[in-house]
Amino acid sequence: TMTVALARSSARDVTVVPNRLGYRSSPTLVGFAEHGAQRLLGSDAVALSTMCPSCVISDPRALLGVPLAAARNAQGSRVVGAFNHTLVPSDPASRGTARVTPPASLLVEHSGADPFDAEELVAMLLEDAATGAGSGGSGGDKPESCTIAVPPWWTQQQRHAMLAAAHIAGLRNPSLVSEAAAAALQLSHRYPPGPRGQKVPAPKTVAIVSVGARTSFAALVRFSHRTQRTKVEMLQLEWEDDGAAGGRAVDTAVALRAATWGALTGGTAADHKATSGASWFGRSKRNNSTDTDMKHTNTDKVARREIGEVYTLLGSPKSAAKLNAAARKAKEVLSANREATVSVNSFAPNGADLSAKVTRREMEAAAEDAIARAASPLRRLLARRALGSKPAKAVDAIEIIGGGARVPSIQAALSAVAEEFGVAKGSSGDALGRHLNMEEAVAMGAAAVALNATYARGGKANTKGGGKRAQQIAAASAAAAASAPLLVDSYSHSIHLLVGRSTEPFELFKSGTQLPQRHVIEVPAVNDDIEVHLVEAAKPAGSGNSGSDKNGPSLAGGGSRLPASVGASRSGFDPAPFAGYQITGVKSAVQAFAKTEETARTKRAAKRDKDKKSGKGKSSEKDRAVEEGDAAPLPTSIGLLLHFAFNRQGLVVLEKAMVSPTEKTKPPTEKLALLDLAGAAQAPASNGVDKSGSKRGARIYQPQPMTAAQRRRGAGVLAALRDRDARRAAADAAVSELERDILALRQR
């Protein structure tokens, strides 16, 4: 789902903006109505998703920055249930991403409609959210700044893709923040610096646990204080991202339970047993079934899949969509009650209805693996934290967020982990804190990040000139920025550097690097143009990326690894670099360096000859060493200084390459040019050689971010759809006006 929060600089408050239907969150759905192909977004497409699943594209964010092969693999396992469309290669295919074929309802209306890039689909949702936020503000315009919260384990490609979607949507000053950091910023209000003049409070370490629809994570946060400002630092992170550790996995367990043991009644043919013990899959219900029996009815292969497994078994996307919706409602009922009924009309191919009673105990037994996986990030985080210290000092508190954290069985599993590691209980008798709105904390924290960025930008923009009013605005912005909490986000994966054809990576930034960050490295003895490549790597062994810990019990779940969506092995290095640069002009720099050195040697030799003739030629050991050095051959290589930057968005870039200075001479003035090899890989090639002279296939850069031209094309797609929506709305308004006139005439 998507939640939109708005921060007003005038009132310095943050509020959640309801959508058009009044809901405080919207599902990430993009639909085109079955008749007329009217575009429906978010909550407007919910009803359509059950009546015509093929008309709705669900959760396009899951495709951002994902290679085509990985997207198709996911479609065949856990995504197909919520994503029922054909994936085709990107345009150009060298981008390596997937495009989504338009729903059949749109193709009927526009047979020549092109497939959608994932960035375009996400941009539709972002544009709709920004429009709603603008109408919720005072001026009706799009917000001045927009901060989008993303999963903290997202890769470089995924972050680039989200920013591209924001640019396509026309958002102003878009930025990214991790969901963990956004929630931590919202929680910082519970840890104020204290009254001025009193002792500064001691730092507090808090574990924030989030359980969402498909994933869960546990983040370690430290709250400290500098005078009257709170500092929020992201320290460590553990996560489960394979789709089997969230509320959707519990929905699947309930759906499988209902589909397996529910009663089928009615229908046009008696090809099923219409008894309460009938099973859709042909298994007879045992009267003396136990919890153990129930767990074994769902094998691990089925239990760990999304509702797509049910789609495959049923062969009817509409029936599976209705079953999934009914299972989700039953799960919500079971959060407060001991029993719920799953009812689906026209479930079977012959029109039979499905009805099944599910108890909370049965749901917990069926979803046992999903519940354990939801709690496994917290277990791994506390296990790492407790190494070398007493478990009782692992963390000061635990805070839970996310819609999946409302499930009582998941809360019980988290409480058991907290008790195991000796986390202190609160006043309520439980170690789990519930001080934040579980569904809205991340959105409100992201809005606060955007507000703080606006303060900082406003102060800088109005510092120079502009009169008294501008100076007042600058002073107010600077004061607000200085008093706001200082957020220090971090990056979950490590970034490694490959120089030239080397296969030995150099660790450039460690996992957990705090943002922003800069790093300069020296590459010695370079005599020609070289290529450097950046790759992402999983956390090192022993850092929680395995399923068990040698110092503790076996840990459920797959562990914190590179996302499967990057197309890499789930641990170790991503085989495809996410960025590459060719440093050109090295030969010219070497020649200039040699010429400069030759000139310096000539001057030193002339000075020595002059001193000898005048009788002042008393040479020291240092002078003799310089003279011996001057007798050596001129240099044929140089050292390079590579300046890397890790910005607040969590994106790494090579800013510049410079010649390393020496003790004898200043570096030459020739600038070294940088060619983005990843961008060049998308350009047309001739005879397999791109403009850089590099052979295609030596390094594969996939998936790749959108170029500026591709973003402009995406913006054109959205503009055409907006124009189409406006024409349709005008036509509908004209028809409504005509109907009112006809009704008025009839009443006369």
Structure tokens at 195: 């009254």
Among the residue ranges 24-28, 562-566, 666-670, the one predicted with the least confidence is 666-670
Among the residue ranges 8-22, 121-135, 676-690, the one predicted with the least confidence is 676-690
Q: How far apart are CA 720 and CA 262, in angstroms?
A: 47
pLDDT digits (tens, 9 = 90+) for 441-490: 999 999 999 988 877 766 454 444 555 655 555 565 556 666 788 999 99
Provide the H-helix boundaries in 315-367. Answer: 317-334, 360-366
Global pTM exceeds 0.95: no
Nearest Cα to Cα of residue 2 among 172, 239, 169:
169
User: What letter would DSSP give residue 4?
Assistant: -
CA distances from 331 to 236, 248, 402, 476, 605 (A): 32, 10, 15, 48, 88
Residues 369, 409 contacting (CB under 8 angstroms) = no
Residues 220, 205 contacting (CB under 8 angstroms) = yes
Q: How far apart are CA 645 and CA 329, in angstroms?
A: 47
Q: What is the pLDDT of residue 714?
A: 94
Q: What is the pLDDT of residue 701?
A: 67
Residues 129, 5 contacting (CB under 8 angstroms) = no
Amino acid at 406: R
Q: What is the pLDDT of residue 329?
A: 93
* Range 608-628 average pLDDT: 77
Nearest Cα to Cα of residue 652 among 579, 703, 582:
579
Residues 705, 97 contacting (CB under 8 angstroms) = no
Please give the mean pLDDT across all residues of the chain. 79
Q: Residue 727 pLDDT more than 70? A: yes
Q: Which helix (H) or strand (E) holds 97?
A: none
Q: Which helix (H) or strand (E) holds 419?
A: helix 408-420
pLDDT digits (tens, 9 = 90+) for 224-244: 987 778 999 999 999 998 777
Confidence of residue 505 (pLDDT cuts 50, 70, 90): confident
Which of 192-201, 558-567, 582-591 is modeled with the greatest confidence? 582-591
Antiparallel, parallel or unpaired: β 638-646 and 339-344:
unpaired
Confidence of residue 277 (pLDDT cuts 50, 70, 90): very low
Find the radius of gyration of the CA atoms of the chain.
31
Reduce the DSSP state of residue 653 to 3 states and report it: strand
Residues 165, 122 contacting (CB under 8 angstroms) = yes
Burial class (CB in 10 A: 0-12, 13-18, 19+), 334: buried
- DSSP for 460-505 reads HHTSSSSHHHHHHHHHHHHHHHHHS-EEE-EESSEEEEEETT--S-
Q: What is the pLDDT of residue 306?
A: 44
Q: Residue 571 pLDDT more than 60? A: no
Q: Residue 557 pLDDT more than 50? A: no
More confident position, 413 or 578: 413
Among the residue ranges 170-179, 377-386, 537-546, 573-582, the one predicted with the least confidence is 537-546
Q: What is the pLDDT of residue 731?
A: 81
Q: What is the pLDDT of residue 125?
A: 95
User: What letter would DSSP give residue 197?
Assistant: T
Residues in the chain: 748
Residues 116, 3 contacting (CB under 8 angstroms) = no
CA distances from 722 to 122, 164, 190, 711, 726 (A): 15, 19, 43, 17, 6
Residues 264, 274 contacting (CB under 8 angstroms) = yes
Q: Listing from the earlier edge strand, what are the strands of the sheet with 39-41?
A: 39-41, 29-32, 56-58
Amino acid at 456: A
Confidence of residue 415 (pLDDT cuts 50, 70, 90): very high
- Find out whether the peptide bond into 703 is cis, omega within 30 degrees of 0: yes
- Ranges assigned E (strand) in 626-743: 638-646, 652-659, 673-676
Q: Which helix (H) or strand (E) holds 706?
A: none
Query: Which residues, in sequence order, are bridge partners of residue 14?
Result: 7
Q: What is the pLDDT of residue 357?
A: 92
Q: Listing from the earlier edge strand, what are the strands of the sheet with 517-526?
A: 517-526, 638-646, 652-659
Query: Which residues, in sequence order, are bridge partners of residue 102?
Result: none
Structure tokens at 74: 């996911």
* Range 693-700 average pLDDT: 45
Question: Where do the domains of the chain lie, and which CATH numbers do they carry?
Answer: 5-172+707-733 (3.30.420.40), 247-369 (3.90.640.10), 493-594+636-680 (2.60.34.10)
Residues 274, 189 contacting (CB under 8 angstroms) = no
Which residue's entry shows tokens 């996307």? 317
Question: What percentage of the chain exceeds 70 in pLDDT?
Answer: 75
Crossing angle of helices 118-136 and 156-168, rounded to 10°: 60
Amino acid at 244: A
Q: What is the pLDDT of residue 620?
A: 76
Structure tokens at 140: 């009706």
Residue 464: half-sphere exposure toward Cβ, Cα within 13 Å:
3
* Range 698-708 average pLDDT: 74
Nearest Cα to Cα of residue 213 among 337, 81, 311, 362:
81
Q: What is the pLDDT of residue 83?
A: 56
Reduce the DSSP state of residue 253 to 3 states and report it: helix
* Range 553-569 average pLDDT: 55
* Range 286-290 average pLDDT: 35
Nearest Cα to Cα of residue 340 among 266, 258, 396, 281:
258
Confidence of residue 255 (pLDDT cuts 50, 70, 90): confident
Among the residue ranges 348-352, 435-439, 522-526, the one predicted with the least confidence is 348-352
